[in-house]
Structure 1
Amino acid sequence: MTLSTNTTTMENDGELREEQVSKGLSNLGLSATGLQHTYLCLSVPGRDLKNVSILCNYIHLQKLELPHNKIKDLSCVSHMPHLIILDASYNQLTDFFGFQAPKNLKEVNFSHNQMSVMKDLSEYSSLTKLILDHNSFSAIRGLEKCERLSHLSLAHNSISRIRGLDHLPLRELCLSGNAIQKIENLQALRKLQVLDLSCNRIQSLSGLHTLYLMGTVNLQSNLISEINEASHLHDLKLLRDLNLLKNPVQEKDDYRLAVIFLLQHLTLLDQQTVTAEEKVSSVNKYDPPLEVIAARDHMTNLLYQLMQPQIIFDSTLPSLDTPYPMLVLTGPQACGKRELAHKLCQEFSEYFAYGACHTTRGPYYGEEDGLDYHFVTEDEFQTMIQTGKFVQTLQYGGHWYGLSRESIERVAREGLACCVHMELEGVYSLKNSYFEPRYVLLIPTAVENYVCCLKARGYYSNAQMETAVSRIDSYAKINREKPGFFDNVISCDDRNEAYMTLKQLVKEYLGVEDPGGDPSSITPDNTSSNSTGELLAADTVNADLTDSYSKNYQNKIQARMTPQRTQAEMASNRREKLIREALNGKSPGAYADLFQRSGPTAPSSLASHSRPTAGPMRPVDLGGPELDELSSSEESRASSGLSMRSSAGVRSAESPTRESDVGSRLNIEPLDISLLGQERDSKGRMDSRLTPDAPRLGSERISPTLPSSPGRPGANTKPVLPPIPSGRKTNDSGSKL
């Protein structure tokens, strides 16, 4: 009973006794001098201690823990030269570091005390961690010489400004629960990785943009109200954790996606994991790639098109398996693509017609409505979208642009290929459609000349010109990273040179020669049987018809009808029925044979010698080195949807001299078009290998006999084309299904 009373008395008077010390000692080891064994740690928490003067005798202690007591004096620490860690939290200390500095003191915890003024800590050069939470400090001072201080916490004090931290090697800084209104004076903290500014009055995140090693930022319970404040953290590539809970900004629409979009490196936002799906959704919402924009526009246009009455378009005929031929000129703003398109369509009027796009912008000086663009209002444009009028749409420079179906159909009804121009966004959109145009990129290489051209036009502001110049790199990057995205690239620094290059390129696509060029070129008036003419004829006969894109293009541009009915059109009533069945998918073989493209048909005078009676077609030996070379050349040209050999895909009438020369080289048998269906219906009359996709040799490659055309590429006369399949009209965009 007496012993218990004495123990209680010792505890109540607040003085630390030997018995309590002996119970709190731990970690037996060598002293700092290494000459004796001693206890290195002492922990006496929660004993209501007021007097710890007895600790002056424990000079070998390296760690001292006295939390949750009532200590007001720590002068005993002055007798502990080897002390490394000191924890005096939750006490009644008023004197900031009221002891002589232990040489190796590294970590100090004075949180939850009654300190109000910080003093100079120049003597504590080894200090690495200092915790001063829940005191009464109003300013940060005295830390200038703490060259090793990496962790500083001053949470829940009365600090109103951030200062006194210049050039400290801080990695963690906690200033939570103060009265800070502005983030400032942190530029010199180059090593800072963790920053806690929660529970303050901060309204802006400016001041953090230079802290490139920052990984965690806590701004919970502040006054941040704008999403774009997160842009100040955009350059912090190592930032992974951001906490904006209990800020007004969270009330904004799509707040989370917007912040994730601005800070793509985040893995944790508002204490919730940022998923990959959220990152993708944020990019698609606020800065979608051109592919995504084009896909959305295509889906929108396609959906509205499917809601309209379905018809057969002229741009899908006469061939079912070949895309309608188009030429697309693309490039940066004001690079000359519109002018070159007009000039090309004027010179190659037998092949191309210009397709004018719709736009919501106003006309520039010299532009004509219906010729350069169709200028419409915003409401009219949206109405056209909702009625399925467009093949592709795009937004550029705050205005809408769109290529309408009618613009293409108007050209297709003329039997011509459509030539259009558009920006990069339009190319992406058009690539989602079933059209497969040839894409030619016109790109400036001399930026200064391009800028001068933009200024000379007088339509663009400085910002618009900067945007236009920056897009040159976008075009170049796509051409570099996506081989084949553009079929050809032409420098447009000199418009005349650019047009000559484009003109030669189109000639290669079409397989035509310049009538005013090489004298050996074949023209309607050229009746000589020179080797060039013979090789060209052999090249045409030996075309590789297995390439559907090449073999059907001739029919694409043969859409122009003549007023009178041709002989082939009246040859057989059964022909119309076969075509109708082919369009319905019942007899594709007959349709393909009927419209396959090939070389010129031998004249009747030659046919009388090589084919005395109508019968099955026989293969003819077309071997020879010359023909092999021409075949390979033909295959390279046939890979283009714009490849052809005459003004409208039909060979012009040749003179008797020319015909005799061709006939002397090749045994060609004409095909009687009136017997096409009969031969296919007769057993044993048609070789089973003659399918639309099977290769044909010799006479098997001969196209149906078509009326001769007096026109050649470059001639003034219009060619007489074969009839257009049943169901296609010249005045309407298509016939109802």
Structure 2
Amino acid sequence: MSVSVQQAPTAALSSCQTLRNPSGPRSQGDPNTTLLTRSPPPEGDELTATEEEVEVEGDKQTEMEDGKLTEEEVANHLSSLGRSATGLHHIYQFLSLPRQNLKNVSILCHYVHLQKLELPYNRIKDLSCVSHMPYLIMLDASHNELSEFFGFQPPKNLKEVNFSHNQISAMKDLSAYASLSKLILDYNSFSEIRGLEKCSSLTHLSIAHSKISRISGLDNLPLKHLCLRGNLIKKIENLHTLRTLQVLDLSSNRIQSLSGLQNLHFLGSINLESNLIREIKEATYVHDLPLLRELNLKRSPVQEQPDYRLAVIFLLHRLTHLDEQAVTAEEKVSAVNKFDPPLEVGAARDHMTHVVYQHMQPQVIFDSTLPSLDAPYPMLILTGPQACGKRELAHKLCQEFSDYFAYGACHTTRGPYFGEEDGCDYHFVLEEEFQNMIRMGCFVQTMQYGGHWYGLSREAIESAAREGLACCIHMELEGVFSLKNSYFEPRYVLLIPTSTKEYISRMKARGLYSNGQIDTAVSRINLYVKINKERPGFFDSVISSDNREEAYRALGQLVKEYLGLEEQGAGGGEHTRAAPDNTQPDVSGEPPAAEKVEVSSADSFSRNYWNKVQAGLTPQKTSAELASIHRKQQMVREALMGKSPGAYTQLFKRSVHTAPSLLAPHSQPGPSSSLNPNVGRPLPDRIEDSSSEESRASSGLSMHSSAGALSVGSPSDGLDAGAGPKVDPLDISMLGQNLESTKDHTESGLTPDAPRSAPERVSPTLTTSPGRPGSNAKPVLPPIPSGRKAAEFGPKP
């Protein structure tokens, strides 16, 4: 028997699918299709149809057992009918023969028009037939027994080749494959990458699970996807020229560092699973990659680090997937709040920590610094970057104005610098002791800077307050944010260097700071400037610290205006204290001249500053609010006059103190004053009894300390300290103001409800508070009053 092939007019049709049935529909009207036909058997050698089919099937089975590809099998697996490269004929472009146990595919030499050839999962060792396919674009010969690398003449349009899972051990020069764009060589035995220098179109290269120990031979390739998974690579190197690389897979290697990826600015995905990366700080090498979105560090020692995930998310805030898990917005916020919280967040946490620990301790009343209703305890805070002269100016200020200020020494865990004294500049403690103090609720605010803890203890403020002095403290910006959350309302003065060069030279001259510390300090100058620019009123005053003497002169001038001592300092040659509070006013009821100067200057300073801030930030009080305030004042006056003692007696009922008061106010001389021992005529019995009863009842809310001495407009300013056993009145400025007003009307024969012919005259020594201390509703504090030592308020001989 013989089998003949009917040839088409041109050789171009040899790659068309052959048909078993020549009379089928594909042969009719299709002159360009090659048909496989049989020649008629010669005479005398006729075979039945059944015998012929058995013979053909037997031949086919024999060929397949030998692994030889037949035309019949080719015909069964051709697909994708289309036009030839010349466009003149219809041909089948794709041939796929997976898992056919093929060894010999030499018959494919006649199928010259194939564009895609897939021969995976066979036993092929020779692919020389590909040399006859000039139009071939895609070749898949994976999972075979190839040992030769590209053992065929290069088709000029070959773009994608898959030689994975073969037995190839060496790469050769592929300069002739200029169109090659995708090359997959996984699971072979390569030990070196070579021969790809001229592959100017190669964008996808995968050589996974081989024996490569070093990355090389990839210079200036236009790679976008590089996979070197499962090799013996220990270091990321020679990738800096891959400017277009987007996806990098180096999993299952022996890499210990991410160094070498810094300049790959198009890199969006990095897979380093199952490597030897141990430190979180390695992520800093890829911190500046703007397009990095995916990072995989699974099964690496770095995952054992505490807070590993949040730390990596914080360093690489652009990530959308970490270790094949999506990065949520909540995780990004948590990472920032944990490792670099905004100043407000850190201050809020610090404040909450100290409040909670203070409440956990046994109840302690800090008598001198409790917030009052008329004015908070006065404090002065000097803030600015490191080594700007805060501490030096604070010491100098407290020495010159020793009657008004006392230095508040903070606690720190760092060691003392040259010349620093324990207890004078700082309280130097160990970190363990510092943490114990936090848990004991000893601090008002704490912060970390330069790896050390700093904290302002309540005792440091109390020690100054017990002496009747305002506290002067210096701290960094974080401490200012924390202190603003407390009920203290200090004045904040910013000391800022304006010459960076001079600031750096001064720090270097001290010889106490490393280059890193100097760089950090310089970088924080812009932070202070930004806060001052974006938050008007955050600092009460800003002073340049380039020249320390000029800075102190400016600070001193500011404090004199603050205390109302400017005119006194000019007249006397040196600053003097204001007139003692026990000085009696003249017969006309006006305060002494010195006192008037002090109060007028201080009130003017505060009033001007308050008006500026009030105009831009704080709404004016409505008529309803003013009416409410007036009603409350009326109730206070009635209570003090004894017209409604029941409710107030129950409200302020406390144990009676018999010790003489340190805060005895001065009363105006007159026939109706019963509180001045020099005046012989007492008030009527009813008024005397009710007033005394209310004073004794309210004394339970006042502390036997110097707090009143530091409050502006204290109602105690009108009593004589030597009047015998008396008790402290309420520390309420409005109450004191209305008490004086009530006394004036009582002397003139008017009652609180009687009509008034003229506006009431309020004592100039009293100032009204714009808001309750600690509510952050009062942007401007009252001036620091005249400091008085506690001993000066004792009974007179």
TM-score norm. by structure 1 comes to 0.74
Cα distance in 2 for partners of 1:340, 1:288 equals: 30
Cα distance in 1 for partners of 2:749, 2:597 equals: 28
**Residues 87 and 470 (structure 1), Cα distance of their counterparts in 2 relative to 1, 3 Å cut:** same
Kindly state the Cα deviation for residue 596 of structure 1 after the two structures are TM-superposed: 4.7
Choose which of 618, 638, 643 in structure 1 pairs with 2:782: 643
Match of 1:41 in 2: 94
Mapping for residues 166-315 of structure 1, pairs under 5 Å: 166-315=219-368
Q: 2:251 aligns to what SS in structure 1? A: coil
Gaps of 5+ in 2: 1-52, 580-585, 612-619, 626-659, 668-673, 677-687, 704-714, 716-728, 772-776
Kindly state the Cα deviation for residue 516 of structure 1 after the two structures are TM-superposed: 4.0
Contact 1:509 1:642 in 2 (8 A): no
Whether 2:182 is the aligned partner of 1:134: answer: no
Kindly state the Cα deviation for residue 643 of structure 1 after the two structures are TM-superposed: 2.5
Whether 2:510 is the aligned partner of 1:373: answer: no
Kindly state the Cα deviation for residue 645 of structure 1 after the two structures are TM-superposed: 9.2
Cα distance in 1 for partners of 2:486, 2:400 equals: 28
Contact 1:320 1:583 in 2 (8 A): no
Contact 1:566 1:722 in 2 (8 A): no
Cα distance in 1 for partners of 2:270, 2:454 equals: 44
Whether 2:214 is the aligned partner of 1:165: answer: no
Cα distance in 2 for partners of 1:251, 1:92 equals: 43
Cα distance in 2 for partners of 1:228, 1:258 equals: 9
Larger RCO (CA within 8 A; separation ≥ 6): 1
Kindly state the Cα deviation for residue 448 of structure 1 after the two structures are TM-superposed: 2.3
**Residues 14 and 255 (structure 1), Cα distance of their counterparts in 2 relative to 1, 3 Å cut:** same
Choose which of 672, 693, 697 in structure 2 pairs with 1:574: 693
Choose which of 366, 370, 379 in structure 2 pairs with 1:326: 379
Higher alpha-carbon deviation: 400-409 or 166-175: 400-409
Contact 2:374 2:734 in 1 (8 A): no
Match of 1:64 in 2: 117
Contact 2:243 2:265 in 1 (8 A): yes
**Residues 608 and 165 (structure 1), Cα distance of their counterparts in 2 relative to 1, 3 Å cut:** closer
Letter in 2 for 1:304: Y
Kindly state the Cα deviation for residue 255 of structure 1 after the two structures are TM-superposed: 3.3
Letter in 2 for 1:227: I
Kindly state the Cα deviation for residue 527 of structure 1 after the two structures are TM-superposed: 11
Kindly state the Cα deviation for residue 533 of structure 1 after the two structures are TM-superposed: 8.2
Match of 1:728 in 2: none
Give the percent of matched residue pairs that are identical in Structure 1 and Structure 2.
62
Whether 2:177 is the aligned partner of 1:124: answer: yes
Choose which of 397, 402, 408 in structure 1 pairs with 2:455: 402
Cα distance in 1 for partners of 2:163, 2:427 equals: 77
**Residues 58 and 507 (structure 1), Cα distance of their counterparts in 2 relative to 1, 3 Å cut:** same
Whether 2:503 is the aligned partner of 1:450: answer: yes
Match of 1:355 in 2: 408
Choose which of 12, 21, 24 in structure 1 pairs with 2:77: 24
Cα distance in 2 for partners of 1:281, 1:301 equals: 22
Render the CA deviation track for 1:135-177: whole Å, top value 9, x for unaligned. 2222211111110100011112222221111100001111122
Whether 2:103 is the aligned partner of 1:50: answer: yes
Cα distance in 1 for partners of 2:429, 2:166 equals: 74
Match of 1:429 in 2: 482
Contact 1:243 1:271 in 2 (8 A): yes
| Higher Rg | 2
**Residues 395 and 608 (structure 1), Cα distance of their counterparts in 2 relative to 1, 3 Å cut:** closer
Contact 2:563 2:602 in 1 (8 A): no
Contact 2:181 2:204 in 1 (8 A): yes
**Residues 51 and 461 (structure 1), Cα distance of their counterparts in 2 relative to 1, 3 Å cut:** closer
Match of 2:748 in 1: 611
Kindly state the Cα deviation for residue 191 of structure 1 after the two structures are TM-superposed: 1.0
Letter in 2 for 1:154: I
Letter in 1 for 2:748: R
Contact 2:248 2:270 in 1 (8 A): yes
Contact 1:325 1:641 in 2 (8 A): no
Kindly state the Cα deviation for residue 498 of structure 1 after the two structures are TM-superposed: 1.8
Cα distance in 2 for partners of 1:242, 1:508 equals: 60
Cα distance in 1 for partners of 2:514, 2:114 equals: 74
Contact 1:537 1:599 in 2 (8 A): no
Contact 1:323 1:436 in 2 (8 A): yes
Q: 1:202 aligns to what SS in structure 2? A: coil
Whether 2:539 is the aligned partner of 1:420: answer: no
Match of 1:471 in 2: 524
Kindly state the Cα deviation for residue 614 of structure 1 after the two structures are TM-superposed: 5.1
Match of 2:684 in 1: none
Match of 1:90 in 2: 143
Q: 2:131 aligns to what SS in structure 1? A: helix
Gaps of 5+ in 1: 549-559, 649-710, 712-716, 724-737
Cα distance in 2 for partners of 1:303, 1:405 equals: 15
Render the CA deviation track for 1:685-718: whole Å, top value 9, x for unaligned. xxxxxxxxxxxxxxxxxxxxxxxxxx9xxxxx99
Contact 2:564 2:600 in 1 (8 A): no
**Residues 514 and 78 (structure 1), Cα distance of their counterparts in 2 relative to 1, 3 Å cut:** same
Contact 1:105 1:126 in 2 (8 A): yes
Kindly state the Cα deviation for residue 302 of structure 1 after the two structures are TM-superposed: 2.1
Higher alpha-carbon deviation: 9-18 or 288-297: 288-297
**Residues 86 and 262 (structure 1), Cα distance of their counterparts in 2 relative to 1, 3 Å cut:** same
Contact 2:372 2:732 in 1 (8 A): no
Contact 2:208 2:231 in 1 (8 A): yes
Letter in 2 for 1:258: A
Cα distance in 1 for partners of 2:592, 2:370 equals: 37
**Residues 527 and 31 (structure 1), Cα distance of their counterparts in 2 relative to 1, 3 Å cut:** same
Contact 1:512 1:644 in 2 (8 A): no
**Residues 326 and 294 (structure 1), Cα distance of their counterparts in 2 relative to 1, 3 Å cut:** same
Kindly state the Cα deviation for residue 221 of structure 1 after the two structures are TM-superposed: 2.5
Higher alpha-carbon deviation: 484-493 or 589-598: 589-598
Cα distance in 2 for partners of 1:534, 1:183 equals: 73
**Residues 52 and 67 (structure 1), Cα distance of their counterparts in 2 relative to 1, 3 Å cut:** same
Cα distance in 2 for partners of 1:569, 1:413 equals: 26
Render the CA deviation track for 1:597-642: whole Å, top value 9, x for unaligned. 76997999xx79993555546556569xxx9xxx999999x96654
Contact 2:375 2:781 in 1 (8 A): no
Q: 1:207 aligns to what SS in structure 2? A: coil
Render the CA deviation track for 1:166-196: whole Å, top value 9, x for unaligned. 1000011111222222222111111111112
Contact 1:578 1:591 in 2 (8 A): no
**Residues 539 and 483 (structure 1), Cα distance of their counterparts in 2 relative to 1, 3 Å cut:** closer
TM-score norm. by structure 2 comes to 0.69
Letter in 2 for 1:573: S
Match of 1:678 in 2: none
Higher alpha-carbon deviation: 263-272 or 207-216: 263-272
Kindly state the Cα deviation for residue 52 of structure 1 after the two structures are TM-superposed: 2.2
**Residues 18 and 621 (structure 1), Cα distance of their counterparts in 2 relative to 1, 3 Å cut:** farther
Match of 2:128 in 1: 75
Higher alpha-carbon deviation: 121-130 or 91-100: 91-100
**Residues 644 and 220 (structure 1), Cα distance of their counterparts in 2 relative to 1, 3 Å cut:** closer
Cα distance in 2 for partners of 1:403, 1:120 equals: 72
Higher alpha-carbon deviation: 310-319 or 50-59: 310-319
**Residues 35 and 465 (structure 1), Cα distance of their counterparts in 2 relative to 1, 3 Å cut:** same
Cα distance in 1 for partners of 2:74, 2:598 equals: 116
Match of 1:152 in 2: 205
Cα distance in 2 for partners of 1:142, 1:538 equals: 85
